[in-house]
């Protein structure tokens, strides 16, 4: 477990946010619009706290009991130099489930002894993270904009403050969108205020940077606590003030729940430093204070940080409704942050006021389930997170953008709803159901972008007011034909012999905090439904409030020639304890409608197999990024899946008629004779000997192999190492950008090998601009193959020597011709094969090999994508045709015979790594490859065919939006500005005119549409008369003044 200890710091990083102000300052009078804005960017560093470790116990114990457990464990191990760190915070006198220990002589025996104690759950390293926030003017951002606030290193081209005129004399212009002054009025919170629903009695916790004591925007700050040890409760950064303002501000930039009780948790120092233990203590204190809603505008990619994840589950089990931002790493897919990606947490994404998904908002899917399964749908909902006004630390208002802005919008909305519905309806599951079921779906966005859709505050209020405990499914149906919402399922139909298509559904259990699934049944609809086979894997235990259901879809042999739509439904029966306190059990059966399209089996040359099984990433082990320039995002955590960071490549291949299937099992479990090519892109794991033997037979039988590798150098790995206090030794990455030694073992049967030098640079290939980002090179290649070279710089030498690259990312040192692309016909009997004969009797039966040394250009967000190169390589691999672009770029035959164009060595496996601890191939004891696992066989659910009526053939209907007039009882429901002090209730402070009349009607509880309409018509008539009178007066004045002016002009001419 030592290598996994470096994970914990990720959760402590603040979510990136984008600041939108006219001048890039925090002036309270500054408003936000599309003409000028700034974003908040930051750099961070992390380090292990010397000899400190977090001991997590299996229960809550007093301080003396915990100390006795630790003392007994270490005394038996002969360790006496240790100290338990005293935590000076509000939770110090309460029982706790963890301690922070300082081992003055870090001894492995001490850590082993602690882990072996029966009262200890685990021991993890203590870490700190430091962020440096900076503000970047959006005018200085590149064409992609500044709202892309991910960790990826990218260069922005500066724009001049004044746009230069075009050659035709016209200047470029852009449409200015109106940004609403109050986010609360956009979501119609003022309608609930008029009913007296203001958040009163609801405890809201804000985990952030603190809040000033006498800030004028807040009236009910019940408690401010500091968990940093700085002995201050104020906010020096402004982020915590803004978040609290969106939730509960009473003045200027109004919050959603102005009467809610705010509990401010200051968990970041003024230097932007935090620790894991601070969060654990603060979470425990929130449970003891019986917090209702907790906003957490932080996150990171580490869903395997067990102390943090376990504590979030515990919060949910104690009925704390947790709202968290999904991250600002968009528009890349697979970039969800934890804890927003957990099933029990409400994960919030961001949209603009034009109802389009914000570019900065992270996208799904979740990556917990890979490689064997498929990710869940996230975010849960989206709401406005771009250009939102909130409280400034100086007392005025400011505008910010980011999912850390959208998160408090939802948290404030929940606090507002909670104060107007029965208390027994306020469970994490009930609130999540209310938000998701009533959300309004956005057109043109898929489920991994918007989740269930845009927050509908009024409909959610109506749903919670009439709520009955129930269970639900997310998503509520599976329609593999519905584009755009059901992307990527809708982009590729099902067919016989394909790898199973997996859909992951979340079970939200509103019946109780715990329950279990008792039965799952498959009911295909006649006549064609029985052609579809469904297998199910699910979490038997539902806790807290949720579980998962993974469905695998396959086509039976009888559907090999079928072309059409099949339908059916899956029934899920769950059982749960009654949450009302009674001992009775509640049962519920949920129906999940399913629709899919089946087509005849495609030809072999159009079927591609994507190797997901040998992909490893963070969290788990320390796996570095493919691009060594990405210093601010050193961890490879995007899952390397077709539908995450390789999404653009997948779409390009589908547009060209290829069918891609994901291999989540060893190669020995797949019938490779069905596929034209196997794609090995950026693999990090080793290969079973059985896999290499099976691959050799498959290639000899016609399977082609397409490899996109990446950098690997044992010496370079040591330059990105870190020191692990848990084991008292330096840890290096488990592998490079790709596991080149493992690839060389696989390719050695064809006399092909990749080298250990790392190159980068820009060049042109076949007329296409290319960028080689930290790639390897071809070390050995058969003479009859085709080699393509490019002028590149030695990036590995630059890094190890400390040399800085020149302008544009290329080195000032000279470049050398590096072999980067190789194409080979593997049939050994035709050494003189020309590699370009096309189809015919002369075409060898064996497959072909395409090798390229860099995979970064295939990923989404690449500055210069090389999808065209992959298509050209597939043209060669599948049709034995060498495209002219590659043929013209190939090195001359005389140089091809010298495979060692540049001096290099074959890469050797780095010593000291812990790949065996995370590998699916290597044995944990470092004894070598483990035996190849048995192929997984999911038993299909018995098909219980039914003659479904026409009504059952339609998928689950969406919840109709609630008409606001049914809530407030009047027709004037669209107010753009809330009335002054409207949160004091409909009857309080009744004004004059239409507002007073509507308030009185609402207070009486009657709708009275006619009475509400009369003042409206009268006011409109008076307005028209006033305008007419004003026009008449202005006309009369103009005529009189005009006559005087003409008379004076004539007199002047006469004189």
Task: Tell me the catalytic residues.
Answer: 208, 239, 404
Enumerate residues 6+ apart whose C-beta is below 8 A from 1043.
Answer: none
Backbone angles phi, psi at 7, to 5 degrees: -75, -30
Query: Max CA-CA distance within the chain?
Result: 120
Report the C-alpha gap between 987 and 195 in whole angstroms: 8
Report the C-alpha gap between 419 and 259 in whole angstroms: 9
Q: Could you say which DSSP state residue 363 is in?
A: -
Six-digit token string for 594: 């399913």
Report the C-alpha gap between 1047 and 501 in whole angstroms: 89
Six-digit token string for 245: 């303002």
Report the C-alpha gap between 363 and 106 in whole angstroms: 41
Report the C-alpha gap between 126 and 454 in whole angstroms: 39
Q: Residue 1010: enclosing H or E segment and its boundaries?
A: helix 1009-1054
Q: Could you say which DSSP state residue 983 is in?
A: G
Backbone angles phi, psi at 560, to 5 degrees: -65, -25
Q: Helices 867-879 and 647-655, interaxial angle, to 10°? A: 50
Q: How far apart are the first and last CA of the chain?
A: 105
Report the C-alpha gap between 216 and 244 in whole angstroms: 12
**CA neighbor of 6 nearest in space, from 920, 899, 784, 727:** 727
Bond from prior residue into 379 cis (ω within 30 degrees of 0): yes
Q: Percentage helix, strand, coil, to 5, in the chain?
A: 25, 25, 45
Report the C-alpha gap between 889 and 784 in whole angstroms: 16
Report the C-alpha gap between 319 and 196 in whole angstroms: 25
**CA neighbor of 376 nearest in space, from 494, 551, 543:** 551
Report the C-alpha gap between 407 and 526 in whole angstroms: 45
Distances in Å between the alpha carbon of 734 and those of 7, 124, 456, 713?
14, 20, 46, 12
Enumerate residues 6+ apart whose C-beta is below 8 A from 885.
Answer: 765, 766, 767, 768, 872
Q: Residue 797: enclosing H or E segment and its boundaries?
A: helix 795-801
Answer yes or no: are the C-beta atoms of 749 and 76 closer than 8 Å: no
Report the C-alpha gap between 180 and 190 in whole angstroms: 14
Helix residue ranges, H only, 269-321: 276-288, 306-317
Report the C-alpha gap between 557 and 553 in whole angstroms: 13
Answer yes or no: are the C-beta atoms of 859 and 710 closer than 8 Å: no
Report the C-alpha gap between 235 and 334 in whole angstroms: 33
Backbone angles phi, psi at 629, to 5 degrees: -75, -20
Count of Cβ atoms closer than 10 Å to residue 603 Cβ:
9
Six-digit token string for 370: 């890979």
Q: Residue 74: enclosing H or E segment and its boundaries?
A: helix 63-76
Report the C-alpha gap between 746 and 341 in whole angstroms: 36
Report the C-alpha gap between 297 and 312 in whole angstroms: 14
Instruction: To the nearest 10°, report the CA torsion of 771, 776, 779, 783.
Output: -40
């Amino acid at each position: 477990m030592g290598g996994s200890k470096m994970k914990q710091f990720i959760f402590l990083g603040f979510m990136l946010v984008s600041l939108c102000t006219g001048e890039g300052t925090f002036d309270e009078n500054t408003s936000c619009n599309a003409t000028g804005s700034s974003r908040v960017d930051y750099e961070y560093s992390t380090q292990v706290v010397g000899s400190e470790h977090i001991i997590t116990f299996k229960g809550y114990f007093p301080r003396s009991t915990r100390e006795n457990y630790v003392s007994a464990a270490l005394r038996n191990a002969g360790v006496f130099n240790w100290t338990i760190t005293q935590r000076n915070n509000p939770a110090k006198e309460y029982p706790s489930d963890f301690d922070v220990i300082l081992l003055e002589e870090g001894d492995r025996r001490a850590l082993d002894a602690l882990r072996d104690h029966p009262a200890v759950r685990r021991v993890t390293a203590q870490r700190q993270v430091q962020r440096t926030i900076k503000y970047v003017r959006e005018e200085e951002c590149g064409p992609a904009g500044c709202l892309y606030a991910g960790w990826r290193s990218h260069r922005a081209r500066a724009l001049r403050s004044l746009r230069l005129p075009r050659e035709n004399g016209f200047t470029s212009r852009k449409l200015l969108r109106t940004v609403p002054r109050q986010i609360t009025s956009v979501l119609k919170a003022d309608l609930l205020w008029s009913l007296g629903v203001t958040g009163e009695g609801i405890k809201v916790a804000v985990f952030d940077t603190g809040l000033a004591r006498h800030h004028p925007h807040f009236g009910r700050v019940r408690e401010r606590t500091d968990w940093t040890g700085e002995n201050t409760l104020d906010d020096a950064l402004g982020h915590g003030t803004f978040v609290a303002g969106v939730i509960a501000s009473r003045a200027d930039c109004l919050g959603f729940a102005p009467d809610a009780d705010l509990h401010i948790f200051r968990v970041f120092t003024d230097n932007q430093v935090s620790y894991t233990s601070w969060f654990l203590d603060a979470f425990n204190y929130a449970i003891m204070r019986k917090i209702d809603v907790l906003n957490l505008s932080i996150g990171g990619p580490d869903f395997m940080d067990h102390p943090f994840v376990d504590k979030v589950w515990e919060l949910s089990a104690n009925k704390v409704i947790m709202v968290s931002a999904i991250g600002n790493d968009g528009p890349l897919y697979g970039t969800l942050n934890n804890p927003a990606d957990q099933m029990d947490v409400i994960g919030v994404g961001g949209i603009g006021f034009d109802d389009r998904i914000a570019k900065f908002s992270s996208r799904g899917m979740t990556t917990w389930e890979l490689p064997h399964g498929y990710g869940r749908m996230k975010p849960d909902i989206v709401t406005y997170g771009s250009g939102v006004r909130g409280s400034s630390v100086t007392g005025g208002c400011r505008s910010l953008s980011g999912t850390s802005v959208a998160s408090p919008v939802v948290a404030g909305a929940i606090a507002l709803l909670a104060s107007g519905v029965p208390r027994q309806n306020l469970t994490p599951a009930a609130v999540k159901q209310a938000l998701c079921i009533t959300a309004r779906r956005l057109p043109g966005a898929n489920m991994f972008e918007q989740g269930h859709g845009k927050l509908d505050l009024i409909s959610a209020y109506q749903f919670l007011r009439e709520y009955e405990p129930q269970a639900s499914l997310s998503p509520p149906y599976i329609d593999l034909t519905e584009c755009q919402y059901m992307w990527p399922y809708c982009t590729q139909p099902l067919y016989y012999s394909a790898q199973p298509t997996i859909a992951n559904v979340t079970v939200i259990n509103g019946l109780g905090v715990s329950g279990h699934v008792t039965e799952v049944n498959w009911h295909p609809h006649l006549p064609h439904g029985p052609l579809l086979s469904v297998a199910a894997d699910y979490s038997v235990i539902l806790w807290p409030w949720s579980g998962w259901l993974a469905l695998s879809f396959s086509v039976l042999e009888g559907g090999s020639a079928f072309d059409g739509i099949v339908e059916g439904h899956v029934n899920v029966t769950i059982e749960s304890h009654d949450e009302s306190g009674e001992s009775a059990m509640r049962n519920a059966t949920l129906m999940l409608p399913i629709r899919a399209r089946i087509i005849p089996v495609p030809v072999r040359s159009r079927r591609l197999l994507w190797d997901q099984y040998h992909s490893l990433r963070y969290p788990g082990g320390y796996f570095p990024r493919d691009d060594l320039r990405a210093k601010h995002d050193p961890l490879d955590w995007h899952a390397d899946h077709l539908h995450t960071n390789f999404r653009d490549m997948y779409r390009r291949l589908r547009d060209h008629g290829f069918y891609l299937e994901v291999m989540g099992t060893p190669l020995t479990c797949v019938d490779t004779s069905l596929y034209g090519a196997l794609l090995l892109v950026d693999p990090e794991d080793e290969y079973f000997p059985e896999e290499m033997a099976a691959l050799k037979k498959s290639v000899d039988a016609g399977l082609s192999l397409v490899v996109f590798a990446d950098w690997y150098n044992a010496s370079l790995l040591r330059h990105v190492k870190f020191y692990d206090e848990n084991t008292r030794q330096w840890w290096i990455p488990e592998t490079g950008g790709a596991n080149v030694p493992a690839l060389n073992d696989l390719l050695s049967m064809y006399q092909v090998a990749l080298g250990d030098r790392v190159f980068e640079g820009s060049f042109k290939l076949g007329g296409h601009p290319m960028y080689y980002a930290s790639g390897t090179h071809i070390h050995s290649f058969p003479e009859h193959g085709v080699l393509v070279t490019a002028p590149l710089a030695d990036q590995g030498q630059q890094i190890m020597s400390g040399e800085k690259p020149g302008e544009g990312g290329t080195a000032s040192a000279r470049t050398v011709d590096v072999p980067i692309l190789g194409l080979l016909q593997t049939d050994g009997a035709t050494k003189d094969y020309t590699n370009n004969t096309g189809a015919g009797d002369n075409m060898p039966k064996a497959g072909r090999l395409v090798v390229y040394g860099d995979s970064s250009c295939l990923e989404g967000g690449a500055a210069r994508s090389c999808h065209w190169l992959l298509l050209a390589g597939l043209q060669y691999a599948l049709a034995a045709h060498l495209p002219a672009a590659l043929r013209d770029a190939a090195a001359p035959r005389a140089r091809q015979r010298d495979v060692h164009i540049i001096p290099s060595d074959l890469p050797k496996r780095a010593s000291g790594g812990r790949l065996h601890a995370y590998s699916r191939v290597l044995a944990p004891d470092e004894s070598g490859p483990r035996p190849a696992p048995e192929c997984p066989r999911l038993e299909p659910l018995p098909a219980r065919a039914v003659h479904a009526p026409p009504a059952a053939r339609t998928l689950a209907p969406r919840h109709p939006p609630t008409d606001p007039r049914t809530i407030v009882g009047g027709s004037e429901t669209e107010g753009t500005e809330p009335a002054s002090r409207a949160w004091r209730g409909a009857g309080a402070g009744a004004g004059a005119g239409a507002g007073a009349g509507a308030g009185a009607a609402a207070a009486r509880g009657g709708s009275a549409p006619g009475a509400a309409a009369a003042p409206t018509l009268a006011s409109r008539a008076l307005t028209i008369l006033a305008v007419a009178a004003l026009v008449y007066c202005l006309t009369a004045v103009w005529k009189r003044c005009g006559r005087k002016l003409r008379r004076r002009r004539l007199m002047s001419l006469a004189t």
